[in-house]
A and B are shown apart, each in its own frame.
Chain A
Amino acid sequence: MAEIRCPMCSQANPEEAEVCAFCSARLRPLLAGGPAEGIPPSEAEPEETDWLSRIRQEAVRGQAEPTPPPPEEGGPDWLSRLRRAEAEEEGPPKGEVPAWVSDAVEPAPPQPAAPAEPEVPDWLARVRERKAAEDVPAEESAPEPEEDWLSRLRVPQEGQVPPREAPPLPEILRPPDEGTPAIKPPPASLPSWLPQPPVEEEAAEESPALPSTPWEPPSRPIAVPFSRGKAAPPPEKPAPAWPSEPETPTPAWPPAPATPASAWPPAGESPSIAVPPSRAGAAPEPPALVEPAGPEPLPHTPALLPEEGLPFVPGEAADFDIDSIKLPEWLSEAKPAAAPPKPQAEEQGVNLAPATLPAWLEAMRPMETFRPVVEIQPEEEQLVEAAGPLAGLRGVLLAEPVVAIPRQRDVGSARLDVTERQYAHAEFLHRMVQEEERELPPAAPGRRRIPLVRWVLSLVLLLGVALPMTAGLPAFALPVLGPPDLNPFIGRINALPVERPALLVIDYEPGYSGELEAVAGPMLDHMISRGLRIATVSTRPSGPPLAERLLVRAGVAVGYQNGRDYLHLGFLPGGPAAVQLFAEDPRQAVPHGYLLPAELTSRSGWESSMLSGVTALSDFGAVILITSGAETARTWIEQASPRLGEVPLLMVLSAGVEPMVRPYYETLNPQVDAILAGLPAAAAYENANGRPGGAQSIWGGFGSGLFVAELALALGAGYGLLTALLARRRA
């Protein structure tokens, strides 16, 4: 015997079995529209014992067996009945109806339009009644204003339990007393809790004519809590907006039957708020559920069943519509009455459909991106599920719209709000980054040109420097008048004490020796002529040899000897810190010396008789700095000047450093006592000494070279100016 295995539980079943005996899963795919394979319709009856049959029996339990419609061609009988039952089933089965719904339904009086049959439950009867009401033309089913639910609320229902006395109202909620002027709300504004009506144009075009009846709450959302019927005790109701105060006479509130709306404010200006049920002294009745009058392709199942005996109001759609709200008269004044009222049935049939939101509410709905993008096809075109427990069924909901199809994000936005300024900055940064990453192309080997201008200028300059030294032409006269700084400098040298050595600081690079030796030469001649003893020190490693060279050249003619007339203390390492240390304790800063005489080689230069009395910087007769750098001069001024005391600080400067040091000199309280800068001052100094030296020997070449340089500068400036003018004229 052949077996067939269940695709769900893998249990073996007989070959002819249609459903699994263990899990009731269908074993063979079911093709809608065709008969079950090999099974006649009459034989399919026993299969109603499956889960689907049980559900169907549960749904139609107690209902008289309706006349089965003729089965569709090619369709099984049970499936036809199932579809028929689904079409009629608009309410929950009896066993699944909640108790409170049952309580609300049971005491309802029978409707004459729906004769109660013993087999048909009440809820099904009401559904049929409503279906019958849908067939009625809209014009006929339009309710009269007097039949409004609000009017009925005022009428005490027979046999209804009077409501309990509501708790006292707060002061602001109490109706106005007699004689108290009625509070009239502003006609042009609505309270915030009221749904705002659409603009006037839209209201004139789309909304139906507002009835003169008071405002009725939206049918479905508000009807839910009130739909428990008269059997519901008042305390179980949700707190009404206006609890009743029957003992308080309120003339402003006319008797309920006389006026459908509250007379507070007076009738003609009644507020827009519906009269509370308790105010009318009757249990609240839910507003009638409204069914669309037009032809409805889809069955509509309300969330809760309406009260029996209440007619359907076709003008009220199932969904909330602002135009369906009946506003009071005083509020109606705010809306233009220009638009003629359209037929209600036409309006409902065109614009209002079940499960359709108004446009203004649709715009507020943040669910746009969650709507399924898959259209629901007709049942005949839908695919048959091929696997799983739903195998063989059509119209199975697909998982792709939920799982696989990407959706648009609804949180946040990826678009930045960038100003033009920020955009410009971002662009600038972008260009900078791109410029950094850009590689420069290798420079192409340019055409080699002969630097004729450079060669000509070099030749002229060399000739200009050399010719005065060789041929004596052109001749530049020696300066007769020295600079104003020269005489103070000479005076300081003349005032130096002979018994105390002068400290000579050699702080220039060898490259400047040609200038500074010429500038310092007349000063050294002057000092040697006076018999001053000289000690040298340098903060540069090349300083001590330069000092030796300078002193040998200056003193060789007069027999100055190392160790006796001059002494090299050597290199002072450490920069500014060493200068400060030397100013405080010279012996500790430079303990030895440079090129010391033989008797002092194994000892320190400080043991020389020349430096016997020197223990501090102030023990020197003077500190003379020869430098080519402004930083070096400033270091000695800042670090050593405060510790000099009365010892003068003199400076022999290169011509390029003089402007930087002069501010320390030309003040009321100078930190530098005298300066000697440049070759002209040296030449004048030699004149003053009466002994020509190195400055005068190069004076001709120096003057001629400066003249050539100045001429070249002037020619270059003129050429550049002319070129610029020509370029501007061309532009």
Chain B
Amino acid sequence: MSNIASLQPLGTLLAALLTMMVLSYLVGDNVLFRLAVHIFVGMAAGYAGSIAVHNVLIPRLITPVVSGGLGAFNSLLIVPWLLVLMLSLKAWRSTAGPGSLPVALMVGVGAALVVGGAVTGTLVPQTIAAMDSLDPRAVTPLTGETGLERMLNVVVLLAGTISTLVYFQFTARRDATGQATRSRLATWVAYVGRLFIALTFGVMYAGGLAAAMAVLAERVQFLLSLVFSFFGG
């Protein structure tokens, strides 16, 4: 532990150096920036691999066998081992066939979970919430909107929802020239929906810009503090 504490200044210097290398991208694409990116990618992959080995493979596959011996092999342990062996066969092209089974199992289970969760956790609740929000008499408990503010919010919410849905309606009738065109009303409503979508993207961009600015400010503060500490003692 003391060794780690002694390496703290070196870590701080390395962090400052890597920060400078990344910020060099403001000048343009250069070798320092690419080197820093490669270092981050490599460290992230290596660290994720080591975490997977130390937190998953060893305690869940190796330790039970080592501690319990062959007698510890039961169905809960044989199946993971079998799947791991089959998945490892994908390393060679000639034996990649059996490796598709664990991959298919993971993809299938993941897709089922995501779809089921999306329906029960997002689609149905959000649809009900959108309908409930249109009631001007209802008071949002977390925002406390009442009166005219609530009414205005309901109108904006209703207009935004309908116009956005109309914008994503891609069916239209063909006119005499054979060209698919929307009706005039649908065109105007879709245009309003496009404005709402643009507004949403603008808000998200502003949020991302604010997050990036906060990170930049934190990094600049880190560098300045390091410089001040170095020169100021």
Contacts and interface: CB of A to CB of B under 8 A. Distances in A.
Contacts of A669: 125, 128-129, 132
A12 interface: no
Contacts of A484: 143-144
A515 B142 contact: no
Contact of A465 (B27, B118, B204, B217): B217
A639 B214 contact: no
Contact of B109 (A461, A577, A702): A577
A576 B220 contact: no
A671 B121 contact: yes
Contact of A576 (B117, B207, B221): B117
Contacts of A671: 121, 125
Given A594-B55, A637-B122, A656 B218 contact: no
Contacts of B217: 465, 469, 514, 698, 701-702, 705
A634 B219 CA distance: 29
B133 A667 contact: yes
Contacts of A674: 142
B30 to A, nearest CB: 12
A570 B54 CA distance: 11
A654 B211 contact: yes
A512 B211 contact: yes
Interface string B106-148: 0001100110011011100110110011000010111110000
A573 B142 CA distance: 34
B55 A698 contact: no
Contacts of B26: 454-455, 458, 461-462
A663 B47 CA distance: 35
A462 B213 CA distance: 11
Contact of B140 (A512, A666, A697): A666
**Residue of B117, B138, B142 ringed by the most chain A CB atoms within 10 A:** B142
B56 interface: yes
Contacts of B200: 659
A518 B143 contact: no
Nearest to A519: B214
Nearest to A488: B142
Nearest to B121: A638
A469 B55 contact: no
A241 interface: no
Contacts of B203: 659
A660 B207 CA distance: 11
A660 B211 CA distance: 15
B103 to A, nearest CB: 14
A332 interface: no
B210 A706 contact: yes
Contacts of B133: 666-668
Nearest to B118: A638
A200 interface: no
A49 B31 CA distance: 111
Interface in A554-592: 570-571, 573, 575-577, 580, 591-592
B47 A655 contact: no
B216 interface: yes
A542 interface: yes
Interface in B31-53: 44, 47-48, 51-52
A421 B211 contact: no
Contact of B207 (A454, A635, A637, A654): A654
Contact of A541 (B51, B126, B178, B206): B51
Interface in B170-192: 178
A512 B213 CA distance: 11
Given A541-B52, A698-B217, A709 B209 contact: yes
B59 A701 contact: no
B84 interface: no
A698 B207 contact: no
Contacts of B132: 667-669
Interface string B58-80: 01100000000000000000000
Given A515-B214, A542-B48, A655 B207 contact: yes
B129 A663 contact: yes
Contact of A639 (B121, B144, B215): B121
Nearest to B201: A659
B208 interface: yes
Interface in A444-498: 451, 454-455, 458, 461-462, 465-466, 469-470, 484-485, 488
B233 interface: no
A454 B110 CA distance: 44
A125 to B, nearest CB: 79
A573 B55 contact: yes
B110 A577 contact: yes
B214 A518 contact: yes
A470 B225 CA distance: 10
A634 B44 CA distance: 24
Contacts of A594: 55
A660 B122 CA distance: 12
Interface string A508-549: 000110110110000000000000000000000110100000
How many B residues touch the partner, as a band?
35 or more
A656 B47 contact: no
Nearest to A708: B213
A679 interface: yes
A317 B38 CA distance: 101
Given A484-B143, A541-B48, A656 B208 contact: yes
A62 interface: no
A517 B214 CA distance: 11
A635 B48 CA distance: 21
Contacts of A660: 204
A512 B224 CA distance: 19
Contacts of A576: 110, 113-114, 117
Given A514-B215, A666-B142, A698-B217, A642 B121 contact: yes
A642 B203 CA distance: 29
B28 interface: yes
A451 B28 contact: yes
A404 to B, nearest CB: 51
Contacts of A571: 51-52, 55-56
A518 B118 contact: no
A668 B207 contact: no
B55 A592 contact: yes
A219 interface: no
A293 B98 CA distance: 95
A185 to B, nearest CB: 50
A634 to B, nearest CB: 7
B52 A469 contact: no
Contacts of B138: 668
Contacts of A657: 207
A282 to B, nearest CB: 73
A249 interface: no
Contact of A698 (B120, B121, B142, B218): B218
A589 B210 CA distance: 36
A110 interface: no
Contacts of B213: 465, 702, 705-706, 709
A488 B144 CA distance: 11
A641 interface: yes
Contacts of B218: 514-515, 517-518, 694, 698
B153 to A, nearest CB: 9
A671 B121 CA distance: 9
A635 B109 contact: no
Interface in A407-454: 421, 451, 454
Contacts of A577: 109-110, 113
B52 A573 contact: yes
Contacts of A679: 210, 214
16 contacts: A421-B178, A454-B26, A461-B26, A512-B215, A518-B214, A570-B55, A577-B109, A577-B110, A577-B113, A638-B120, A642-B120, A656-B210, A663-B129, A678-B207, A698-B218, A705-B213
Name the 3 nearest CB pairs between A and B, nearest first: A638-B121, A514-B218, A638-B117
